[in-house]
Chains A and B, each alone.
Chain A
């Protein structure tokens, strides 16, 4: 026997399946929304997330126990999904900007939870969000992606840095500058509508 070897302990097949099922239950919807915001096609989004989950399953099969214990599942799944999305888009078409129309279902879902709110207030909020999203779409690409991930996907700056393989400082700068541009654009928009 090779005494120098430091063999890992692994999850059993049942444990992998159980853990995977938990991940799917918890993150399927989140990741689906994450991709749906970036693609114009519902079916594409479903395919991408499914492929990402299958990649994740195979990774779990070979990850040692200690790795799984310390695994931060959410950013890890986002990273895998992001890679699949980028590969998918590079194979098919250039990345699409944030899609407004495809969000309608998301927005309606949110509305379901807020049925007690006055309809005009809800409408105003939805309009506000739409306006914000369209302004984010007009940002330069490097800021747009970071702002999307930070505000709409609610990833932390560190998670975005890991996802995009960029230094944390760069992400902080991009969030700051992106917000500044956004604020300026909002003010200009409001100025126009007042006139």
Chain B
């Protein structure tokens, strides 16, 4: 039965009572606790624990003591001594949550041969402290850690329990359920998201870079730091490697990206003919043609930026990947070659002076047409440069 102690306030008054009881029962002048903050006694720490470590002969009595702070300290000490599992397993059913949590933690300390089943049962405890301790202890079992019971814990109502579950699953290496870790990056609690970023660090190459990069924009600074640490570590350790495109990225195949870029450059040639082939019918018409060219150029540039976008586009390549400067890939060279060729073709047709439009064409009009064409040429050149930059920097 859950005792009301679970909700008891851990006041200094309680500590003084403990001190009094302790002194009376053991006849020792133990200066306990008036100055020990309750945050220590709740975890079985403080002077009671120190005393028991020095006097293990009192452990058996202390494990049965009526005061839970003494029982918690005794369980903690017993766990460290590592003599028997029995007191710890009994303590897992103690009426007080702090004692049960101390028992779960003690089993985690003795992870080598600690029994799994009682810890799995403790995952159903009503107190978050006990569930967190049980999850953490299960995570310490490493090869013996059971995955199935930990998966539902990822949806626990308490953030500490969820974070501990993410950590425990993260320690499992290849057995770790990657999808669950990635989903945890979206958890509403920063502690869980931070734990997920750290857990993905332990996955090495298996961790999806794209999701980590997206998490670099997390609203919480601790999460961002953990993600940066994971990404930084990974790419520092792989000198010379560039960031791999995410499987979910747009146009992840290089040849498909090249095809889009080449098509984008080539489509500018028919666009040129709009300006060069039409008969001059007035200034407004030419201005409209140049404006249309502006719209088409922007559209082409945007299509390239958006469709060649990958999650890794947010990562500064200089920071995380060592790039071989000056040695572009053959794809980039092909695109650059095609771009130069196309631009030359466009320039030739735009700047060719064959104005046989109208016999009454004046010098002013010719100059106006030339300026319009130069503007169009500038726009197309800028578009080609953008296409090349997008292709080069986002490879």
| Contact between chains at A4 and B45 (CB < 8 Å) | no
Contact with A along B196-231 (1 / 0, CB 8 A): 001001111110000000000001111000100100
Instruction: State A14–B76 Cα separation when bound (angstroms).
Output: 11
- Whether, in the assembled complex, B249 has its beta carbon less than 8 Å from a beta carbon of chain A, the answer is no
Most chain B beta carbons < 10 A, residue from A2, A20, A66, A162: A2
- Whether, in the assembled complex, A102 has its beta carbon less than 8 Å from a beta carbon of chain B, the answer is no
Chain B nearest CB: distance from A92 CB in Å?
A: 13
Instruction: State A28–B40 Cα separation when bound (angstroms).
Output: 10
Instruction: State A184–B168 Cα separation when bound (angstroms).
Output: 54
Instruction: State A63–B159 Cα separation when bound (angstroms).
Output: 15
Which segment, of B60-68, B128-136, B380-388, faces chain A? B128-136
| Contact between chains at A162 and B202 (CB < 8 Å) | no
Which segment, of A45-53, A109-117, A148-156, faces chain B? A45-53
**B202 is contacted by which of A8, A43, A79 (Cβ under 8 Å)?**
A8
**B220 is contacted by which of A25, A55, A63, A165 (Cβ under 8 Å)?**
A165
Give the dominant DSSP class at A's interface: helix
Contact with B along A1-39 (1 / 0, CB 8 A): 010111110000110010011001100100000000000
- Whether, in the assembled complex, B266 has its beta carbon less than 8 Å from a beta carbon of chain A, the answer is no
Given A43-B9, A50-B10, residue A5 in contact with residue B133 (CB < 8 A): no
| Contact between chains at A6 and B37 (CB < 8 Å) | no
**A50 is contacted by which of B38, B45, B109, B206 (Cβ under 8 Å)?**
B38
Given A50-B38, A54-B43, residue A6 in contact with residue B139 (CB < 8 A): no
> Which of under 10, 10 to 19, 20 to 34, or 35 or more describes the interface residues of B?
35 or more
| Contact between chains at A76 and B45 (CB < 8 Å) | no
- Whether, in the assembled complex, A62 has its beta carbon less than 8 Å from a beta carbon of chain B, the answer is yes
| Contact between chains at A50 and B202 (CB < 8 Å) | no
- Whether, in the assembled complex, A58 has its beta carbon less than 8 Å from a beta carbon of chain B, the answer is yes
**B203 is contacted by which of A5, A49, A66 (Cβ under 8 Å)?**
A5
Given A4-B205, A6-B202, A165-B219, residue A50 in contact with residue B160 (CB < 8 A): no
| Interface positions of B (Cβ within 8 A of A) | 9-11, 37-40, 42-43, 45, 80, 105, 109, 129, 132-133, 136, 139, 159-160, 163-164, 167, 171, 173-174, 189-191, 195, 198, 201-206, 219-222, 226, 229, 233-234, 237
| Interface positions of A (Cβ within 8 A of B) | 2, 4-8, 13-14, 17, 20-21, 24-25, 28, 43, 46-47, 49-50, 53-55, 57-59, 61-64, 66-67, 76, 79-80, 83, 161-162, 165
